[in-house]
Structure 1
Amino acid sequence: MPFRPVRPHSIAAAWSRRLGWFALMLALMSLVLHRIGMLDMPNAIAAILLAAFIAVFVLGLSMIGFFMLWHIGAKGGHASFSGMVMALLILIPVGLAASRFVMLPRIHDISTDIANPPEWLEEPEIKLSWMPRSDGSDPAKRRLQAGAYAQITGRRYEGAIDRVLVAVQAVAQEKKWTPVANVGVEALVDGLEPNAAGSAAQAGAVASNGEADPARAPLPAPRPDIENQPLAPLPAFALLQYQTKTLILGIPLDILIRLSEEEETTFVDMRASTRDGDHDLGLNASVIRTFLRDLDIRLLGIAGG
């Protein structure tokens, strides 16, 4: 009768798979609940950090399972592999975020104008939490930004401010940013779009058969004396404030855009800030860089340094 050794079961491998599922579900549920607004960002980060701590323990258990499989042939290879994969699904993104936390400066407020950043029209709502937060407008923080994000600078365009404003609003609308407040925008966009009321009045003067109806025709108005009336000067600046969230993680951002007309050019400055914590992990710089790149494409041919 052939001898068939009984292979022992690896308890470490079994627990690595169980705890791996728990850690992965904890991280995913934290992200989902935060994305739909049921969990605040600091609490979601705390849950993800707890999941990462469990994932480190799961990775150790899976290594023990592989060791026992190699030396004594214990069952649990599939369980160890499953636990290792689930642990890495958590630890790799957390490790990338940790590397950016260490390598990038600890700032949460970025501006293209370090010396004179644009002021918020409406102060962002900041809720106190366990995550520390410092003053983003501190000159020391601005110096850190100058060293880490030297390429984040404003844009000068060879064009009138109203033309640049329309492009800025179009790019912001494409990105689905939510307008919060603005200054000087109404006076600049007034007259750029066709008068809907006048178009409706002209349409009403036409009968259903396509012929003009004399009874509904608009009455002629006297020609305004524009030669003797002074023209109101257009504002030489505009401020637009938006708020948005990142696509996957749902991190809230506040964005401010300042347009300044200088002779025949328009200068565009931006400011972006996260609401939670003291470190944006480079997110604000990426938002500004992407927006200015899209604005350069829309205003192709009139961008300057």
Structure 2
Amino acid sequence: MPFRPQRPSSIAARWSRRLGRFSLLLAFMAALLHRAGILVLPNAVAAILLASCLALIVLGLAMIGFFMLWQVGAKGGHAAFSGMVMALMVLGPVGFAAGRYLTLPAIHDVSTDIVDAPQWIEEPVITPSWLPRSNGDVPAARAAQAIAYPQVAGRRYDGAIDRVLQAVRGVAGDNKWTQVANVGADLLVDGLEPAPETAEAPPATTGEADPARAPVPVPRPDIENQPVEPMPTDALVQYETKTLVLGIPQDILVRLVEEEETTFVDMRVATRDGDHDLGLNAALIRSFLHDLDVRLLGIAGG
């Protein structure tokens, strides 16, 4: 009877697959529940960090499984490989975020005006959590922002403030931002006269005089002596939004100031949790100002 050696089975490989499934499911459910608004960001971060620690253990167990396969031919190569893949699916995004956490400054409030940042109309609601939180509108934080994001600056447009405000609201609508409050913006919008969409056809006439349609004389309005309320030369509009993938809440403030025949646009964007935005606020400002430049093509300045 031929001798058939029995291959040992790697316990580490089996456990790498089991723990890999659990860590991947934990990270995915934490991100999904946070995106759906069920789990707050600090708790989601804690769950993802726990999943990352488990993924590191999974990687170690998978390496042991590969070593046993190479040395004694132990069973478990497929299990070790699947565990390693699931661990990398968890550690990949976490590693990318960790890289940005280490290379970018620890700021959560970014403004195009680092000297006189726009002030919130309604102060964002900050819920205390285990994540550290400091005041982002201080000179030290603004100096760190200037070094990390020198390209984040305001825009000057050779146009009236009402036209630029319409473009700002158009870009905000395209990005599905929710307006929270405004100062002066409604007065500027009310002062505009939108063009009629369709011209009304003149009523049909028979050529005969109609006494009911005869004009009635009315007193002439004294326009020259009526006080004229000046249009505002500045406006503030505050929005809120969430990032596309993870749903991280962001508060946005847009300031418009009319100077002679130009309008200067400043922005301020802040996240609500933690001391680090991972570069999300600066990226939002750059994207918004680029879209605004395209909408106001031809009148953008420095």
Q: Secondary structure at the match of 1:89?
A: helix
Deviation at 1:4, TM superposition (A): 1.9
**In the superposition, relative to structure 1, how do residues 138 and 191 fare at CA in structure 2: closer, same or farther (>3 Å)?**
closer
Deviation at 1:218, TM superposition (A): 10
Deviation at 1:231, TM superposition (A): 2.8
Deviation at 1:222, TM superposition (A): 5.3
Q: Secondary structure at the match of 1:128?
A: coil
Q: Secondary structure at the match of 2:53?
A: helix
For residue 237 of structure 1, the aligned residue among 229, 234, 238 is 234
Deviation at 1:145, TM superposition (A): 0.5
1:109 aligned partner: 109
Counterparts of 1:154 and 1:223, CA distance in 2: 47
Deviation at 1:194, TM superposition (A): 3.6
2:8 aligned partner: 8
1:237-276 to structure 2, matched below 5 A, reads 237-276=234-273
Range moving further from structure 2, 228-237 or 36-45: 228-237
Structure 1 unaligned regions, length at least 5: 208-212
Counterparts of 2:263 and 2:217, CA distance in 1: 39
| RMSD (Å), alpha carbons | 2.3
Counterparts of 2:261 and 2:10, CA distance in 1: 76
**In the superposition, relative to structure 1, how do residues 70 and 152 fare at CA in structure 2: closer, same or farther (>3 Å)?**
same
1:192 and 2:192 matched: yes
Structure 2 unaligned regions, length at least 5: 205-209
After superposition, what is the alpha-carbon deviation per residue over 1:267-292, rounded to whole angstroms, capped at 9, x for unaligned?
Answer: 00000000000000101000001000
Counterparts of 1:92 and 1:218, CA distance in 2: 77
1:1-305 to structure 2, matched below 5 A, reads 1-194=1-194, 224-305=221-302
Give the TM-score normalised by structure 2.
0.92
Deviation at 1:83, TM superposition (A): 0.3
**In the superposition, relative to structure 1, how do residues 2 and 216 fare at CA in structure 2: closer, same or farther (>3 Å)?**
farther
Number of residue pairs aligned between Structure 1 and Structure 2: 296
Deviation at 1:216, TM superposition (A): 9.5
2:207 aligned partner: none
Counterparts of 1:11 and 1:215, CA distance in 2: 99
**In the superposition, relative to structure 1, how do residues 65 and 231 fare at CA in structure 2: closer, same or farther (>3 Å)?**
same
After superposition, what is the alpha-carbon deviation per residue over 1:47-104, rounded to whole angstroms, capped at 9, x for unaligned?
Answer: 0000000000000000111111111111111100100000000101101111111110
Deviation at 1:214, TM superposition (A): 9.1
Q: Secondary structure at the match of 1:3?
A: coil
**In the superposition, relative to structure 1, how do residues 10 and 163 fare at CA in structure 2: closer, same or farther (>3 Å)?**
same
Deviation at 1:32, TM superposition (A): 1.1
Counterparts of 1:217 and 1:170, CA distance in 2: 44
Deviation at 1:219, TM superposition (A): 7.3
After superposition, what is the alpha-carbon deviation per residue over 1:107-151, rounded to whole angstroms, capped at 9, x for unaligned?
Answer: 000000000000000000000000000001111111111111110
Deviation at 1:21, TM superposition (A): 0.3
Counterparts of 1:76 and 1:206, CA distance in 2: 87
Give the TM-score normalised by structure 1.
0.91
Deviation at 1:35, TM superposition (A): 1.1
Q: Provide the identity percentage.
A: 69
Deviation at 1:37, TM superposition (A): 1.2
Residue type of the alignment partner of 2:174:
E
Residue type of the alignment partner of 1:76:
G
After superposition, what is the alpha-carbon deviation per residue over 1:151-204, rounded to whole angstroms, capped at 9, x for unaligned?
Answer: 0000000000000000000000000000000000111111425499xx9xx89x
Counterparts of 1:161 and 1:221, CA distance in 2: 36
Residue type of the alignment partner of 1:228:
N
After superposition, what is the alpha-carbon deviation per residue over 1:222-255, rounded to whole angstroms, capped at 9, x for unaligned?
Answer: 5533333343211000000000001110100000
**In the superposition, relative to structure 1, how do residues 263 and 23 fare at CA in structure 2: closer, same or farther (>3 Å)?**
same
**In the superposition, relative to structure 1, how do residues 8 and 179 fare at CA in structure 2: closer, same or farther (>3 Å)?**
same
Q: Secondary structure at the match of 2:24?
A: helix
